[in-house]
Amino acid sequence: MGRTSKISFVFLILLALAGFIFSYSQGWFDPLSKYRVEGEQYSGGEATVFNESVNAFGEAAPNLTGNKDLFFVSGNAFFKRNWVSAPASTADLDGLGPLFNARSCSSCHLLDGRGKPPQSIDEEPVDLLFRLSRPSQDGNGTRKDENYGGQFNHLSVLGVPPEGNVTVRYEEIPGEYPDGTTYSLRNPTYEFDSLAYGAFSKDMMISPRIAQHLVGLGLLEGISEERLKELADPEDKNGDGISGRINYVYDHINEKMSVGRFGWKANEPSVRQQTAVALREDIGITSAAFPEELCAENQTDCKRSPSGGEPELSQDILDRLALYTETLAVPARRDWEDVQVLKGKKAFIEIGCASCHVPKHKTGEHPEHPEFSSQTIYPYTDLLLHDMGPGLADGRPDGEATGTEWRTPPLWGIGLIQTVSGHTFFLHDGRARNLEEAILWHGGEAETARNKFKQLSKNERENLITFLNSL
């Protein structure tokens, strides 16, 4: 070899080496690199906080403007404050009941976290409540029960009988992965006794619901209706077996039909309405949008009980409470660049979890809080209704949601529920004891994804769970 060709040979080797180093640094050889998306650690865009502590769900969005942070602080105080029965010297905070489930928001959403089902058959459910309804006489839609109304209330003020007790029992259902690993799922049954207003009618429909964790709700309000319509595929035109639907529900505050976004069946259109509904149904506090006490048609003692004002809630307190719940920040991802997490994310996308748990959205214009407009967020939801099969069905329609449909819950913050709420009970009624069980309960439109999860190797399943825990 001549001297010049030797030089050019060395030059070529160096060039190849440089090319290799460059492409390696760009992640071209790394199959996981496309799953490492810079910026996705900020799950809530500019409304993200870096907090992995027990208070991870309790911080205000850091980008709040004006005096909203002061409103947030006083909203937080009302969120934790116990309402008292009327008449009381604290006129602002009286009107509890006559029938109720809890005295404050934080009794169910402690530290803005996730509620849990009772831990033994002697324990009365608190964070787990029961919505009730009956088929309407014309067979078209639902109506309230005349003896128990729209929600089962196990507590009451003096002189009004509480509605009764609930006992939760579980039956274990064994199962097995194709690789031979066994598991067991627990199926809940509910027994209502000491019923003060008569036996439940045979056609009573009962929907158990656990209290959700409350992060990033203003951002979810910011996702435009157009975006949700784009994601919806009611007739499953793309033939992927997944047909998300919007739940259109009545907006009592703006007096029109609106897109449902909140609650396990997307049954409430806004945080403000969800807050007013919680005040009335869970605590027994009336407001301008919901001026009537909760008493069912035949609950005469309830109707006679003193009221704390008409309505009981001032507009100012509702404003503060709604602002507080709306502006809770989203905790940032942890370990989002770890190899195991990236592998889990890859599996999550490949087996079809992301078809419903849509990772990324850009919010539109939030009418009240520009802080939540045009934010790139990673909530892992499409806010749409999906048929989840008979295993999860409650058999109780809610708005346009049928008895088998549930809203895809956002997965942001899910890995911190253990830290904040001290447990890992998931799904609408808290039946799943951990993330794995939550996945294994998926049926209906999610059956294919669930089966693909079961077919993963043990290692791959663990990666997927590790990924969920990083959200």
Nearest-approach distance from CB 201 to ligand HEC, in angstroms:
22
Q: Where are the beta strands (DSSP E) in 13-127?
A: 48-49, 99-100
Binding of ligand HEC by 308 (CB under 6 A): no
Number of residues that bind ligand HEC (CB under 6 A): 56
Among 116, 320, 333, 357, binds ligand HEC (CB under 6 A): 357
Binding of ligand HEC by 105 (CB under 6 A): yes
For residue 209, list its beta bridge partners: 129
For residue 182, list its beta bridge partners: 176
- Applying CB under 6 A, the span of 27-35, 172-180, 297-305, 438-446 interacting with ligand HEC comes to 438-446
**CA 356 remoteness from chain centre:** 14
Nearest-approach distance from CB 374 to ligand HEC, in angstroms:
22
Supply the DSSP symbol for 278: I
Burial class (CB in 10 A: 0-12, 13-18, 19+), 180: exposed
- Applying CB under 6 A, the span of 138-146, 223-231, 263-271, 302-310 interacting with ligand HEC comes to 263-271
Q: Which is nearer to ligand HEC, 30 or 107 (CB)?
A: 107
User: In this structure, are residues 470 and 414 in contact, taking their beta carbons and an 8 Å threshold?
Assistant: no
Binding of ligand HEC by 406 (CB under 6 A): yes
Binding of ligand HEC by 280 (CB under 6 A): no
Binding of ligand HEC by 267 (CB under 6 A): yes
For CA atoms 297, 156, 317, 49, give the dihedral sign: negative
Burial class (CB in 10 A: 0-12, 13-18, 19+), 207: buried
Binding of ligand HEC by 295 (CB under 6 A): no
Among 72, 148, 197, 262, binds ligand HEC (CB under 6 A): 262
Binding of ligand HEC by 355 (CB under 6 A): yes
- Comparing CA positions, the residue from 430, 422, 435 lying closest to residue 470 is 435
Task: Report d(CA 383, CA 410) in Å as an integer.
Answer: 8
Q: Which is nearer to ligand HEC, 3 or 237 (CB)?
A: 237
Binding of ligand HEC by 386 (CB under 6 A): yes
Q: Which is nearer to ligand HEC, 285 or 332 (CB)?
A: 285
Amino acid identity at 351: I
Binding of ligand HEC by 363 (CB under 6 A): no
Binding of ligand HEC by 112 (CB under 6 A): no
Burial class (CB in 10 A: 0-12, 13-18, 19+), 141: exposed
Binding of ligand HEC by 449 (CB under 6 A): yes
Among 60, 132, 351, 358, binds ligand HEC (CB under 6 A): 351
Q: Which is nearer to ligand HEC, 342 or 464 (CB)?
A: 464
User: In this structure, are residues 403 and 391 in contact, taking their beta carbons and an 8 Å threshold?
Assistant: no
Among 116, 293, 426, 456, binds ligand HEC (CB under 6 A): 426
Binding of ligand HEC by 333 (CB under 6 A): no
Q: Which is nearer to ligand HEC, 93 or 332 (CB)?
A: 93
Among 97, 263, 331, 399, binds ligand HEC (CB under 6 A): 263
Binding of ligand HEC by 317 (CB under 6 A): no
Among 145, 312, 371, 445, binds ligand HEC (CB under 6 A): 445
For CA atoms 424, 430, 435, 436, give the dihedral sign: positive
Half-sphere exposure of 86 (CA within 13 A, CB side): 25
C-alpha distances in angstroms, 345 versus 35, 127, 205, 233? 7, 31, 38, 24
User: In this structure, are residues 41 and 49 in contact, taking their beta carbons and an 8 Å threshold?
Assistant: no
**Helix or strand run (H / E) with residue 344:** helix 339-350
Binding site for ligand HEC (CB under 6 A): 101-102, 105, 107-109, 127, 129, 209-212, 214, 217, 242, 262-264, 267, 271, 274-275, 278-279, 282-283, 321, 325, 348, 351-353, 355-357, 386, 388, 392, 406, 408-409, 414, 426-428, 435, 438-439, 442, 445-446, 449-450, 453, 464, 468
